[in-house]
Chain A
Amino acid sequence: MSLPRGVDWLLRLGLPSDQREPIAGDLEEEYAARARRDGVVRATLTVWWQAVHLALTFRWERTAHGRPLPPIADEARRRFTLLESMIQDTAFAARLLRRQPGFTLVVVLMLALGIGANTAILGVVDAVLWRPLPYPDAPRVMTLAEQRPREGRFFGPVSPADFFDWRRDAQSFSSMAAYDEIAMNLTGTGEPERLRVLRVSRGFLDVLATPPALGRDVRLEEETVGLHHVVLLTDGLWRRRFGADPTVVGRTVTFDGVAYEVVSILPPAFWWRTHPDVVVPLALTDHDRALRAAHFLEVVARLRPGVSELQAREELTVIGARLSQEYPAENRYHSPSIRSIRESLVGDVRTPLLVLLAAVGFVLLIACANVATLLLARAAARQKELSVRRAVGATRGRLVQQMLIESVVASLAGGAVGVLIATWSLSAFRAILPAPFLNLPGIDAMAIDMRVLLAAFGVALATGLAFGIVPALVASDQRLATTLNEESRGGSGGARAQRVRTALVVSELALSLVLLTGAALLIVSFNKLTDVAPGFRADQLVTVRISLPGNRYGDHARVVAFFDQVVERLRSAASIERVATTTSPPFSGPDSRLDLEIEHRTSESPVPVRAHPRLVSPITSRRWGFR
């Protein structure tokens, strides 16, 4: 219910400007209340009387004690005006965009592509590189490895003997654990299933700071062969195969025909890059524990509070140097190396991802330059409107504000469509994910969530300002406006406006050139990669991995008999031309090695002569296409 006619005018006449608004508000509030209680006539009379009284009182007060306006009120009033003008400009910009659907469509689509690509890649980068790993205090989790620079290896697997020495001697870590991965068959309950198995030494869960949800951790004595038949089920397998039954703890399940006691259920938050189904103790025979030349263990460790990565590295270097002296045959030119777990998980994809982010950033910049050129052209056509506004008192700042708001409104619309494009492209991206990405942390949770949305909003806002600022400044500049005007009348065009436009086109070309060069180099590299000769003919070659349950095939003769039979049967299949067996196919397998001694050699070679053994069944190189 607004104030009766004339009251506003009276208040304007009598009250100091900083008091007018709150007092008018108070009166209006009272007017509504009184009208409900006593009727409109009495309310009107009361409010009129109050207004007259107030106007006179303040007039008198001002004449008697004239005083300056309190600064706070001035400030509040200015803020309100700015906000008001911005709302007005936003409504105007929306109307303008609606009136020119063709122009709007082009601008919004161009921006949507740029912002959409950026949002999608940001979603990936955020999930993979920036989100914390799913471990408490994750930056303290390290991966340890052996480096053998003379053999070109900088971060390779660790030998068991070295691991046990590190674990015994290193003081920088609160826990250290080795692990490897195998596959086992779950039998006994329902359909047999091949499971991914993570074999870990005592302390693995301490390193990840992820205790079991139910039951207990692996014990030290379970690192001994014979005592190791216990299993920790992951939450996924527990739900899928055991119906989330908590009484499964303490029962036995059968893996590869051997009974394992379920000692715990891991929490749903347990994450490991290979997505194992179960975790079992890593039990090594005394012979295996003493191996120093065979490198097949991966090692993780958690830094003790207060110890830095650098301090840990220094300590490991000292331990490594001592081991090199003690075991020169195996450990000469070896040293331990350390990396944060994130580094070892995403180290390889960080640069490609950031390059990709930069590339889509360039795409957005090109879109900005395009839109800026369009806006500049439109600004020339709008000179009349701008001149009129300037003539009735609009300042340059006000004109720039209005044009900037127009570009921000357009870019926010582009951003909204862009987010749709990003959502679609992320799901498409997930479907064609390259293999190295599959084991990255956060890749399952990759989505356009609040963080990414906020980033997209920021990008859209910045984009609007970026492409809007040049046209806004040019169009609102009186001198430039004149030249633009001349141009629009068909003149030869102002040199200054021409320069601005040329600069935009040149920057656009430069950016496009960088992108095109990058894309071309990428295609060339890809071609070269596919052309690399592996040393054998890889087409029409199929590999199959077979691991035999130890309890039924403990005897060497039985293993040989099994594989002989497999080879025999495969050979008789019509679709198969040749069959061979090997301990590990090319480019895979554990990193064990043999030291070779060359007879009659007089000087020591700078690089130790070592070979990585690979056992193969008899084959004919020519027929297999070895080169």
Chain B
Amino acid sequence: MAVTDVSALGEFEQVVLLAVLRLDDEAYAVSIAEEILRCTGRSVSRGSIYITLDRLETKGYLKSRLADPTPERGGRAKRYYALRPRAIEALREARRQLVALWRGLEAKLA
């Protein structure tokens, strides 16, 4: 159920999902944090990114894969994230709800 899904998505979770979506195949913790900073100006702690990614994966919104280890990472693998179809649905629903709430408020906020 889309509505239930979205009610389970926190605001920061939405931010992380959108950043992953923007980065296509290049979404891993460091690039996600940078993308959030670039788009919103928010500097987010590394811990909250990892925890959120982990939680989103457990909830079934994200899937991850380990890429080949590279020397500049001391031979350690990199974990890339990608959206599952469920996440796209949830993001669409979140946008629909927000747009609906914003409608007619322009005059009041001007």
Contacts and interface: CB of A to CB of B under 8 A. Distances in A.
Partners in one complex: yes
A22 to B, nearest CB: 4
B58 to A, nearest CB: 6
Interface stretch (B15-23, B43-51, B98-106): B43-51
Interface stretch (B4-12, B69-77, B84-92): B69-77
A70 B57 contact: yes
A25 B78 contact: yes
Contact of A22 (B51, B63, B78): B78
- Chief secondary structure at chain A's binding surface: helix
B30 to A, nearest CB: 5
A50 B46 contact: yes
A19 B50 contact: yes
B72 A67 contact: no
B24 interface: no
A73 to B, nearest CB: 7
Contacts of B29: 22-23, 26
Contact of A58 (B28, B30, B51, B69): B51
B79 interface: yes
B54 interface: yes
A67 B58 CA distance: 9
A2 B30 contact: no
Contacts of A53: 45-47
B51 to A, nearest CB: 5
Nearest to B80: A22
B74 A28 contact: yes
B57 A22 contact: no
Contact of B73 (A28, A54, A58, A70): A28
Contact of A57 (B47, B65, B66): B47
Interface in A42-72: 50, 53-54, 56-58, 61, 65, 67, 70, 72
A32 B30 CA distance: 13
B14 interface: no
B77 A25 contact: yes
A24 B72 contact: no
A3 interface: yes
B58 A21 contact: no
A30 B57 CA distance: 24
A29 to B, nearest CB: 5
A76 interface: yes
A58 B50 contact: yes
A517 B97 CA distance: 87
Contacts of B72: 28-29, 32
Contact of B76 (A25, A50, A54, A67): A25
A76 B66 contact: yes
Interface of A: 2-3, 19, 21-26, 28-30, 32, 50, 53-54, 56-58, 61, 65, 67, 70, 72-73, 76, 80
Given A26-B46, A72-B63, 6 more contacts: A23-B50, A26-B28, A28-B72, A58-B51, A67-B58, A70-B57
What 4 A-B pairs are tightest by C-beta distance, nearest first? A25-B76, A22-B79, A57-B47, A25-B73
14 contacts: A3-B74, A22-B76, A22-B77, A24-B74, A25-B74, A26-B73, A26-B78, A28-B72, A28-B74, A32-B72, A65-B55, A70-B64, A73-B66, A76-B77
